[in-house]
Every structure is written in structure tokens, then in C-alpha cells.
Amino acid sequence: MIKKRLLYTILIFVLLLTADNAWAGFSHFVRADGDRLMDGDREYRFISFNIPNLHMIEDQMPFNEMNPWRLPDTYELNDALMTVAQMGGQAVRIYAITVRRPDDPPGTPKHVLGPGEFNEEAFRALDNMMAIAAKHGIRVIIPLMDNWPWMGGREEYAGFTGKEKDEFWTDPVLRADFKKTIDFIINRTNTVTGVKYRDDKAILAWETGHELTSTPEWVADIAAYIRGIDSNHLIADGYHSNMIRESSLSDPSISLVTTHHYEQDPGLMAKNIRSNMDMARGKKPYFVGEFGFISRAGLETAIRAIIESGASGGLSWSLRFHSRDGGFYWHSEMQGLGIYKAFHWPGFDSGRDYDERNVMRMMRKKAFEIRNQSVPRILPPGAPKLLAISSPASINWQGSTGASEYDIQRRELPKGKWITLETGLSDANEAYRPLYADKETIADRTYEYRVRAGNSAGKSKWSKPMGPVNGIGKVISDPMKHTADIFMSGGRLEFTTKNSRQAKEDIYRLSGEKDAFIIYHLDDPFDQFQIDSFFPGEVIAPRIEISPDGISYSKLLVTSESYFVEDKAYGYFKPVRYSFKKQGLKAKYQKITWGTLMHIAHTDVGP
């Protein structure tokens, strides 16, 4: 009996010890030693990414969604941080702690709601982010505020008390309000791990802010305040420049220095990086906080400068992860020359304009090179998760980290054989659209589906089947990439991928001018359709007609719904959905005629 009790006590102790350390992830705080970062007795260096939406998603942009903001869930955080781990990144930098803006859509879950007023839901998501980062062995750099209005920053802090944004650097009330935020975060106890943020080894550094135009006096005061309540973590000056500020090197409370680089000449970018490391040498560690919007060869030149100069690391701009609703989050870069979008791992055809596949391979290689490690082999992905299917024409799944393709199968219930519908599918082909449309099912029959992931190392297991799903007959689901689904067309029409951000990241659209038209045709009668369109200027509804024979057309009065939300920063086009549904319509042809400049992003026609 005594032996059993002793064994039981030991078992409980081991379990408790395991639970206590399950979220710990790290043995040491990263510290500065001269111009190097150290993790215990090992130098700490990294090549990785900024993940701006890791703590707050700003790109939830389905066509009918009017609020792009939401908090990441556990699946999404695991996908993002597992991506960094697979790429050998070791560290990430998030965007700034968010602040409520007066023009935020209702329900936007920002972190800071007012002076000393905080959103617990948003901070619980931050807690989860930190816990999952530790689980995957990734450290996080946290900028404490933003200089710009994107996620709310100094203008919003000033606005809470009726002041101007430029007063933020000198006004004692505004400085005190910001210190309330700093105090709240650093002294917060993580609701997942039970660890206070000031004691969390998964935090690599506090950054005074994102791309600040702050005075040296402001930095000295804020950095000293942070140091006074947190003696464990590094502090970086978030001053916005591509060259180190001398005051950052001399400030005793600043632990490491950083710069951002978007020079269009890669040679100049590399030269500036080397010059910055020369300035910091023997004084403080230096890392490149952001760099990008150049070719793969240009990125490699910049990374070579980081590695060879002895800089502690570099973080490319930027990475987006899988969405819990299927596919990826997307972000077209405002300063990206009309070319660059946020990267997706492991790289896809949709990113060929910016050489995404080769960029991701190169980034992974350099992430291990800077650590003096050989590049490990890629492992097969885990199984994806099919989401609930309401229609065979709208199938989605939660993607697998590191998967480059998917196979999908269907079988007829109750005992049909599995039939492969398609192989080599990408979950990065379209933004915020169904990943697969089964266009040929039989009405009055039921089916179930399954999907598996693959990459260069092999295939995953099949997902759990999803069904029963009722067949609906033949349908058209046109992503507007080419003319394959269009029966006939006329007038000035052009397929375009330009201005994706203004079109809610819809990558492929058919742009047309007044009196241009397209016609769809199905062999069997259809009784419903949906047309998703964007208007760069005035909204003039298209003329929508149907015909049983393709000769005599009759105009329909259709339902229209606008999903436009004005945003001065991005200048969004006006999204309008036109739809119609009536049983017994007996139409086989649909004609859409442009009334003005309009982009059609997606059309669905079917029974």
C-alpha cells in the first residue's frame, strides 16, 4: 500500500511539473551581451517574418462581411506559429497593441478602449497567442503602440481627451494614459499559462512602438518606465528610420536597436544594414525590424548583409496564416508597388508575381543558416479538417500547415465507393471564396466528402468525412479567372487582378464598361443566381436578363444588397450583390449587361 501511495504521489508530481512547464517553452530570457543577443550561453539569431495580424485580424474580408476585424482563434494561432517553426524562424514581430478608433465598425474588438480601459476579450486572445508561441518555441516582439492610424495609435490616445496627435510626445496627460496601458500589459497575468507578462520568457522584447516619430526625451522616459516594472525583458526603441538614432545607442534603458528598410535598390538596402551594424558594434544588439517589397534576389542580398554583418536578425514584411473559415487571410500591400501581397507558406501559384515559392524556400534556408544549422527535411502535413457543407458548390476546409496541395473525394450515400474529384488543389487560389465547387451532383441523391493534404514529403491521412450533403444538379461557379464558364460575351471586357485591396482582396475579376455583356448557359433549367460585383465609381445596376432558348430574353427585377463601408485609408470599391431565386423559372440562359464601369468577382448560377 505504501509503495502504491508513493508511486501515486510521484505520478501526480510529474504530471503537475509537466503541466507547469507545458507552456514555459524556454529556459532563459533572451539578454543582451555587448552587440549580441544570448539565450543562455548560446547566441540568439533569427531570420523570420512580421505577422501583423497575429494578435488582431484586420483582413476578415468575405464579400458580405462589413467588419474586417476579429480576434484569432486557437487553430489560426497554431497554424501561424507552426509555420514559423517549420521555417526555422525562432521569432516573430506582431503589429502594435490596438486602440479603439472613432470610425471602427460596431463590435470591433480593440485592446485599448480608452485611458485605462481595456478589452478583456482581446487580451485573452493575446494570452492565447503567447501560450501557443511558447508551445512552438517562438519568441514574440511586441510593439506597445502605433504611430499610424491603421490599428489605432497616438492619434487615438490623443483623441480620447480631445487633443491632437502631435501633442502625444509632450503632453503629460497623454503620456500618463499610455503608461496605464504599459502597466496593464506588463503586469497582466496570462489567463492561459498563469504567468505574468513580465515573467514570460516567450516575449523577446518590448518595443516602445511601431514606426514612431518620438523625441529622444519621450523614448528615455517610456523606456525607463518599462525597465522600472520589468527587469527581465529587452527593450527596443521603435523610432522610425532606416538608420539607427544615436540617442537609442546611448539610452541606458534601451537594450537593442532596430531599423526598417524599404529601399528599392537592394544594394543600398544592404549597405544601410551593414552601416547600422557598424554603428551598433560593441554597443548594443541590432536587428532589422522590417524589410521587403523587393525581388527574391533583393531579399537575399539584404539577408546576406544581416548574416555577414553580425546583426542579430531580420524580419521580413509580412506573413499571413490560414483562416478558420478555409483558405488564407490575404493582404495586398499599400506600398507594395501594385505587386506585393503578404506571403503564404509554403508558397503558391497565386504568388508567382512576387516569386512566393522561391522566396519561402530561401527564407527557410537563411533561417537555419543564421543559426549555423543544416536545413531539416520537410515533413508531410497533418490532415485537414472539412467544415460543414451547406451546398456541393461551396466546400471549405481548415488547411494544414505546410501543405501545398489537396485531393478531394466524394461518395454517394449510403454505401457508394470513394471517387476522386480532383487532385493538386490549392487553398490559396482565391481569397475568401469556397475552396472547391462540386459542379456536377445529381438532385435527390446524397453525398459525403473527404479531403487530404500533401506536399513534397508526402500525403496526410484523409480528413473525417463530412455529410450528408444533398445533390443539387449542375451549377456554374465562375471565379472570373478566364472564359471557361462564359457561353458568350461582347463589348469592352478585361480580366484583372489589379487593386485587389480595394476589391476586398478578391484576386480575380472581370472588368467591363457600359454595354459590355456576358452570357451563361446551363443545359438544365436554373432558378437562382448570385452575382458579386464591385463599382470603382457610381453604382449603376447591370441589366440582368434570362432566356429559355438564348434568343428571347426578359429582364428580371433582382434583389441587390450593398456591403460598402467607407474607409479613407484604402479607398474601397463599392461591393454590391445581385441575387434572384424563384422556383419554376425554367431559364437556361442568363445575360448580364454592364451599366457602367463594374468588376464582377464571382457568379453562381444553378437550380
Q: What is the pLDDT of residues 121-152, one digit of tens each?
A: 999 999 999 999 999 999 999 999 999 999 99
Query: What's the grid cell of residue 16?
Result: 503537475
Compute CA distances 258 → 74, 184, 266, 302, whole Å: 30, 25, 18, 15
Quick check: 571 and 502 in contact, CB under 8 A? yes
pLDDT tens sequence across 576-594: 999 999 988 889 999 999 9
Helix (H, G, I), strand (E, B) or coil at 40: coil
pLDDT tens sequence across 216-234: 999 999 999 999 999 999 9
Is the pLDDT at 22 greater than 80, yes or no?
no
pLDDT tens sequence across 345-357: 999 999 999 999 9
Query: Does domain 385-473 fall into CATH 3.90.1310.10?
Result: no
The helix, strand and coil proportions of the chain, stated in percent and rounded to the nearest 5, come to 25, 30, 45
Calculate mean pLDDT across residues 352-365.
97
pLDDT tens sequence across 37-81: 999 999 999 999 999 999 999 999 999 999 999 999 999 999 999
Residue ranges of the chain assigned to CATH 2.60.40.10: 385-473
One-letter amino acid for residue 278 of the chain: D
Distance from C-alpha of 576 to C-alpha of 4, rounded to nearest angstrom? 70
Calculate mean pLDDT across residues 13-40.
72
CATH topology of domain 29-369: TIM Barrel (3.20.20)
β-strands 313-316, 46-50: how paired? parallel
pLDDT tens sequence across 391-447: 999 999 999 999 999 999 999 999 999 999 999 999 999 999 999 999 999 999 999
Quote the percentage of the chain above a pLDDT of 70.
96
Calculate mean pLDDT across residues 371-393.
98
- The residue with cell 496627435 is 165
Query: What's the grid cell of residue 580?
Result: 434572384
pLDDT in the model for residue 337 = 84
Is the pLDDT at 3 greater than 90, yes or no?
no
Query: What's the grid cell of residue 577?
Result: 450583390
Calculate mean pLDDT across residues 519-537.
97
Domain 478-606: CATH architecture, name and number where available: Sandwich (2.60)
Residue ranges of the chain assigned to CATH 2.60.120.260: 478-606
pLDDT tens sequence across 186-208: 999 999 999 999 999 999 999 99
Q: Residue 50: CB partners within 8 Å, gap ≥ 6?
A: 92, 93, 94, 95, 289, 290, 315, 316, 317, 318, 319
pLDDT in the model for residue 7 = 44
pLDDT tens sequence across 250-307: 999 999 999 999 999 999 999 999 999 999 999 999 999 999 999 999 999 999 999 9
Confidence of residue 17 (pLDDT cuts 50, 70, 90): very low
Which spans in 330-457 are helix H? 356-369
pTM of the model: 0.95
Confidence of residue 526 (pLDDT cuts 50, 70, 90): very high
Residue ranges of the chain assigned to CATH 3.20.20.80: 29-369
Which spans in 23-114 are helix H? 74-86
One-letter amino acid for residue 397 of the chain: W
Quote the percentage of the chain above a pLDDT of 90.
92
pLDDT tens sequence across 99-114: 999 999 999 999 999 9
Q: Which helix (H) or strand (E) holds 185?
A: helix 172-186
Helix (H, G, I), strand (E, B) or coil at 217: helix
Distance from C-alpha of 395 to C-alpha of 388, rounded to nearest angstrom? 8
pLDDT in the model for residue 567 = 79
Confidence of residue 9 (pLDDT cuts 50, 70, 90): very low
Q: Residue 3: CB partners within 8 Å, gap ≥ 6?
A: none
Confidence of residue 570 (pLDDT cuts 50, 70, 90): confident
pLDDT in the model for residue 23 = 47
